[in-house]
Amino acid sequence: MLQFILRRIGISLFVLWAGSVLLYILTINSGDPLEDLRESRAENRDQLIASRVEAMNLDEPWYVRYWMWFTGASKCLVLQCDLGTSRGGGDINSMLVQAAGSSLRLVTLATALAIVLGVTMGVLSAIRQYSGFDYAVTFAAFIFFSLPVFWAAVLLKQYGAIGFNDWIADPTVSTVTTLLIALVFGLTVSAVAGGDMQRRLISFGATTVVLFAVVTYFDSVGWWLRPALGLPLILLLSLAAFGLLLMLTSGLRNRKVITAGLVTIAIGTVLYFVVGPMMEDPSWGLVFALAAISVVVGVGVGFALGGYERRTAVWVSVGTALAFGGFVFFDELLRNWGTFVDKTGRPISTIGSGTPGFSGNFWEQIWNWGTQLILPTIVLTVISLASYSRYTRSSMLETTQQDYIRTARSKGLSDRVINTRHALRNALIPITTIVAFDFASLIGGAVVTERVFGWSGMGAMFQAGLDTVDPNPVMAFYLVTGTAAVLMNMLADIAYASLDPRIRR
């Protein structure tokens, strides 16, 4: 495996180098970097031209200029990058750090959401093949895949930002709207639950009634401006997460695993009162420390109570502990929504990646950081969502037709075990390839999204380099995207071996 990885690294470095040569040549020949000065009527025009020629080394052959850039970029291997300066004299290293941080937080979140939602929808579509839910997901996938990025972004700015900001000034939900929301969720839950007509009607009716009651209650108490979960809802959501983990692992037959999960929730309830005062204005160090403690508690409980199924119990306990901690974190975040709205007035911004001059506590800073991500993340997510759902569906359907799946069914294994432990694991192998390419392509595809939403990210730096015929910002963009593509493909190869041990040989 090590030899394979080293060989891939060597080939990838060669591909990166060849691509950099081609891109450098194309960039410097895409226009005239002195065009604006040649058309200028300034008295010192010749001096300005001479200064820019000297700063950009335009009097040198292209291969000499490329070698200057390559020499500085190669120092990145020892973490001492020197990517030069822009045409205006700005340091490319600083520009790249700021732009990459802005773009990568957007692309990483969009990719993670697209993977989770897309794979889940694809698996459910395959399990419910040719059902109403399958047709609805297929229709939505084709709609999302065909959406022009700029058009979807403009619609979101109008209805997701401007419309929401107008509504949050006096948030009320009419009875008709509440009923429509409840009906849509009821139909969705009944379609996902499946089963015979009686089971679907029960799922639809229960979900519709409960959601209608919840939304009506929230509207009557003004929850939209002063939201919170509270311990009862945290416990209910944690039990739901625990149940989902049981469905994906041992089911309801292993009492030791069930006991481990319930004990984890009980310990989390006790710790809720202990760490509550510490969460009023914490730091990221404290948050990560509490997450680490959650993992330790989950491992300890699962190992102590898991019996012969200790490995499964540990996974379920750790997942339950992290889910409980996540809901507590989200509860504290919701409690600070009202103060954030009071400070900003219009919380969802249509332009920029942050509110200039904003100051607030830990939770308000997260809201300021997160609300700017919502709209561009939705645009990038729905586009990738279509690919993941369709590929996962087709891969699951192909896998479930294999002989070993028929053998598993003939041995009496439940559909839950077959789908989660056998079919899904092998169906994810081709998905890893899509993830690798999609992450790198999203960075490049975010150029349009960043331009519409006014983000100062990689796209803005790339566009500025092309507009000014300045190769240094363009090459910095390529350095990040090219390296991301290489690393993600390498991780995909390693994931192949993890998902299918046969590939290791």
The closest of 113, 109, 105, 106 to 388, measured between CA atoms, is 113
What residues contact residue 290 under an 8 Å CB cut-off, 6+ apart? 275, 325
Helix, strand, or coil here: 77? helix
Q: Is residue 208 part of a domain?
A: no
Question: Is 159 within the bounds of a domain?
Answer: no
Report which of residues 296 and 360 the model is more confident about.
296
pLDDT grade, residue 499 (50/70/90)? low
Helix segments in 276-402, DSSP class H: 284-305, 310-335, 337-344, 362-400
How many helices (H) and strands (E) the chain has is answered by 21, 0
191-215 mean pLDDT: 86
The arithmetic mean of pLDDT across residues 377-390, rounded, is: 85
Please count the other Cβ atoms lying within 10 Å of the Cβ belonging to residue 194: 15
Query: Among 301, 329, 344, where does a domain finish?
Result: 344
pLDDT at 504 over 60: no
133 domain-assigned: no
Mean pLDDT within 378-396: 86
Q: Is the dihedral of CA 377, 382, 387, 391 positive or negative?
A: positive
Q: Residue 182 in contact with residue 211, Cβ under 8 Å?
A: yes
Answer whether residue 270 shows pLDDT above 90: yes
Q: What mean pLDDT comes out for the span 484-504?
A: 69
Query: Which domain-ending residue is among 309, 344, 379?
Result: 344
Look at residue 189 in the predicted model and tell me its pLDDT: 83
CA dihedral sign of residues 178, 181, 184, 190: negative
Residue that is written with structure tokens 């349009």 in the block? 448
Q: Which structural domain, as residue segments, surrounds residue 259?
A: 228-344
Q: How far is CA 180 from CA 173, 177, 183, 316, 392, in A?
A: 11, 5, 5, 36, 30
The reply to whether 130 falls in a domain is: no
Any residues with CB less than 8 A from the CB of 498 and at least 6 apart, and which?
none
Residue 411: strand, helix, or coil: coil
Does 474 reside within a domain? yes
Long-range contacts made by residues 215-223, C-beta under 8 angstroms, separation at least 24? Answer: 215/173, 215/178, 215/181, 215/182, 216/175, 216/178, 218/173, 219/172, 219/173, 219/178, 222/171
Q: Look at the chain and report how many structural domains it folds into.
A: 2
Triad 452, 454, 457: Cα angle to 5°: 110
**Tokens matching residue 58:** 């335009």
With H, G, I as helix, E, B as strand and everything else as coil, classify residue 226.
coil
Q: How far apart are CA 30 and CA 133, in angstroms?
A: 49
Highest mean pLDDT among 21-35, 67-81, 324-338, 375-389: 324-338
User: How much is the pLDDT for 90?
Assistant: 83
Distances (CA, A) of 235 to 30, 89, 94: 60, 56, 45
pLDDT, tens only, 393-427: 988 888 888 888 888 888 888 777 788 777 887 88
With b for 16 or more beta-carbon neighbours within 10 A and e for fewer, the 24-49 pattern comes to: beebbeeeebbeebeeeeeeeeeeee
Diameter of the chain measured on Cα atoms = 89
Task: Report DSSP letters for 171-196, one per residue.
Answer: ----HHHHHHHHHHHHHHHHHHH--S
Residue-level pLDDT at 347: 86
> How far is the C-alpha of 109 from the C-alpha of 132, rounded, in Å?
30
216-243: pLDDT as tens digits: 999 998 899 889 998 999 999 999 999 9
Burial of 283: CB neighbours in 10 Å, binned 0-12, 13-18, 19+: exposed
User: Is 131 part of a structural domain of the chain?
Assistant: no
When pLDDT is cut at 50, 70 and 90, the band that residue 42 belongs to is confident
Given 310, 327, 344, the domain boundary residue is 344
CA-CA distance, 107 to 377, in Å (whole number)?
A: 7
Residue 91, helix vs strand vs coil: strand
Neighbour count for residue 450 (Cβ, 10 Å): 25
CA-CA distance, 319 to 240, in Å (whole number)?
A: 12
Q: What is the mean pLDDT of residues 22-49?
A: 85
Confidence of residue 435 (pLDDT cuts 50, 70, 90): confident
For 152, the token pair is 């979807």
Pairwise CA distance, residues 16 & 330, whole Å: 42
Mean pLDDT of the chain: 85
The pTM score is 0.78
Q: How far is CA 292 from CA 36, 148, 190, 272, 327, in A?
A: 56, 42, 37, 15, 16
Contacts of 3 (CB under 8 A, 6+ apart): none
* DSSP structure string for 430-465: HHHHHHHHHHHHHHHHHHHHHHHHT--SHHHHHHHH
Q: How confident is the model at residue 441 (pLDDT cuts 50, 70, 90)?
A: low
Q: pLDDT-derived band of residue 213, with 50, 70 and 90 as boundaries?
A: very high
